[in-house]
Amino acid sequence: MATLTAPTAPPQSTWKLRTNSLEEIIAEGRAQPAKMRGALAVCALTGLLMWGAFTPLDFGPLAWFCLAPLCLLARLERPTRGMYRSAYLGGLLFWIPALQWMRLGHETMYGAWIALAIYMAIYFPVFLWLSRVATWRLRIPLTLAAPVVWTGLELFRGFLMTGFAWYYLGHTQHRFANIVQISDLVGVYGVSFLLVAFSACLAELAPAEWLHRLGLVPTHAPAGVHSTNRSGQWRRLACCLTVFVLAWGYGLVRRTGSDFPAGPKVALVQGDFECEMQHDESRWIEIQRTHEKLTGEAVLKQPDFIVWPESMFRWPLLDASADLTDAELQAAHPNLPVGYLRDPNISKRLSDLAQMARAGMIVGLTGLELDLKQARRFNSAVLVQPDGQIERRYDKMHRVVFGEYVPLSEELPWLRQMMPYPPDFGIEAGRGVMAYESGPYRFSPIICFEDTVPHLVRTLVSATTVESESGPRQIDFLVNLTNDGWFRGSNEHEQHLIIASFRCIETRTPMVRSVNTGISAIIDGDGQIRERADKATNAVVTGNIPLDPRTSLYVATGDWFAGSCLSSCGLLGIVGFATRKKNNGPLGG
């Protein structure tokens, strides 16, 4: 019968080896980041909430906390799997539907729509990364770091490649007149800063347990969430509320008792033409007759000024030296009908319209400059005085990328060959700002998307300020000539009008907008719409321009606030790269 013997204990060295192996396994398990699904969920939530804050839903209160889910990721010591990819996907979830109106311009614009969305979505993970650098490397409170980073990035994308200053977070507050008045101090960037500060503060107030429940922290990790003690949280919330009250109070004071003297009566002519009609010369007569008919209706109101939209006078206004003969110019430009372009009846038609209306006319058209070397086209506006005199032409300065020019096409000619555009596609950039005078009034034209660019409009108002007996005198109003027929029926019309209203607050200068297919409007210096037309209809909007005698700190000092935020972003980027850690460090993922 076999006997049972006790097992012999293994050598001590074997136990030590197995113990070390187990420790390594445990350490390796603890080093594993949380799964991607939690990060993807909070980033998607941010994208959806942010979309809801803008048109077409246009529910502005969402903007006060839409970035809070994304800001939660800045509190994690250890990034989740695919955290920055999740942030990028959240950006796409916002930008693709937000920019869907771009596809309506032309079938080739589908590619531009997706390409722009792909580019704009990059700012989401960049925002997250820089916020994490500030929070984990420099120990800056998230409530301060996040708004600084977001504001700096808004300014950056407003400049890069001529800029895209649409969908700034501050634009969502256009319905809340008091809070947006701080734009005359630091631009719309100040409103964005305040909104992001509240989102970041809410993210800091969220208990650490919530981040565990959302799957943002590994269940086996003992810590890993940046938390602030309760007193610190309340102090930051109190700071946000204080800044909000100060901003709201400033807006209340600025608007209380503000006197808007009645300025000149203006008539805004709004035709309703899809943009394809512009390039069909057989429809030019129809476009001209429609606008002349609407001008006749406007004359009954006896306006001081009548405004036509961008490019709605279809015949080019030629500028060529009188010393050059038709034959010389025709030989230099065989593809152009030089004799037809030099027809004096084109300028005479403009003069006759103003004289018959007995009003100054601001008209959008194509400017064409010819010499023996080249033909230069411009997107232009002219003032025709009531006596028929045609003033010097204003040429649009801010061109739309791939809409009005191909960047780097001269340095890289093959780029133009890849684009679905004719060889003569594009316009030249204008040479500078313009201030017109007619009677006692001074005003400046801006064309199309120029009214969406804060620094351009601020520079224009500053550059056209003149000294008078009573001190510096700004222009009395802005005239925006726009063609939104490319995007007929979309929410682009409303969003464009909203953005334009912020230029009025920033500069304390009223604006009138004459827009093909709409929305034509009169906007006062508080950014409030006084008169407007419906979109996609023939209409005439008339009313007195509410002049604004107030001055603007933003005009006087420029983008020092947003520029300081952008400089901070640059420093954070340097710190992030200089102190980066490999593998799964606090900024990895």
Task: Record the tokens describing residue 512, joined without a space.
Answer: 């009138």
Instruction: Clarify whether residues 208 and 80 are in a common domain.
Output: yes
What is the radius of gyration, based on Cα positions, of the chain? Answer: 30
Instruction: Clarify whether residues 190 and 290 are in a common domain.
Output: no
Instruction: Clarify whether residues 169 and 241 are in a common domain.
Output: yes
Element (DSSP H or E) covering residue 353: helix 345-357
Cα separation, 254 vs 550, whole angstroms? 9
Position 12 scores a pLDDT of: 53
Position 583 scores a pLDDT of: 43
Cα separation, 449 vs 471, whole angstroms? 31
Instruction: Clarify whether residues 244 and 272 are in a common domain.
Output: no
Residue 515 lies in a domain: yes
Instruction: Clarify whether residues 304 and 367 are in a common domain.
Output: yes
Instruction: Clarify whether residues 278 and 247 are in a common domain.
Output: no
Position 185 scores a pLDDT of: 98
Residue 266 lies in a domain: yes
Residue 138 lies in a domain: yes
Residue 531 lies in a domain: yes
Position 340 scores a pLDDT of: 85
Position 316 scores a pLDDT of: 92
Position 415 scores a pLDDT of: 56
Q: Is 508 exposed, middle or buried (0-12, 13-18, 19+ CB in 10 A)?
A: buried
Position 17 scores a pLDDT of: 47
Instruction: Clarify whether residues 239 and 324 are in a common domain.
Output: no
DSSP secondary structure, 501-522, as one string:
HHHHHHHT--EEEEEETS--EE
| Other Cβ atoms closer than 10 A to 143 | 26
Instruction: Clarify whether residues 324 and 247 are in a common domain.
Output: no
Position 21 scores a pLDDT of: 61
Position 509 scores a pLDDT of: 97
Instruction: Clarify whether residues 158 and 272 are in a common domain.
Output: no
Per-residue pLDDT of the chain (589 residues; tens, 9 = 90+): 445 555 555 555 444 445 556 555 445 545 577 888 999 999 999 999 999 999 999 999 999 999 999 999 999 988 999 999 999 999 999 999 999 999 887 777 888 899 899 999 999 999 999 999 999 999 999 999 999 999 999 999 999 877 899 999 999 999 999 999 999 999 999 999 999 999 999 999 999 888 888 888 886 655 567 666 777 788 999 999 999 999 999 999 999 977 899 999 999 999 999 876 556 777 889 999 999 999 999 999 999 999 999 999 999 999 998 889 999 999 999 988 888 888 899 999 999 999 999 999 999 999 999 999 888 999 999 999 999 999 999 999 988 776 666 665 565 565 555 555 555 667 788 889 999 999 999 999 999 999 999 999 999 999 998 877 767 789 999 999 999 998 888 999 999 999 999 999 999 999 999 999 999 999 999 999 999 999 999 999 999 999 999 999 999 999 999 999 999 999 999 999 998 754 445 666 4
Residue 409 lies in a domain: no
Residue 406 lies in a domain: no
Our measurement of the distance from residue 36's CA atom to the centroid of its chain's CA atoms, rounded to an integer in Å, reads 31
Amino acid at 571: L
Instruction: Clarify whether residues 126 and 240 are in a common domain.
Output: yes
Instruction: Clarify whether residues 243 and 338 are in a common domain.
Output: no
Domain holding 287, by residue range, is 262-397+432-549
Element (DSSP H or E) covering residue 205: helix 189-205
Position 188 scores a pLDDT of: 98
Instruction: Clarify whether residues 535 and 574 are in a common domain.
Output: no
CATH number of the domain at 527, please. 3.60.110.10
Residue 510 lies in a domain: yes
Cα separation, 285 vs 166, whole angstroms? 34
User: Are 226 and 135 within 8 A, CB to CB?
Assistant: yes
Number of domains forming the structure of the chain: 2
User: Are 147 and 193 within 8 A, CB to CB?
Assistant: yes
Phi/psi of residue 225, nearest 5 degrees? -125, 125
Residue 4 lies in a domain: no
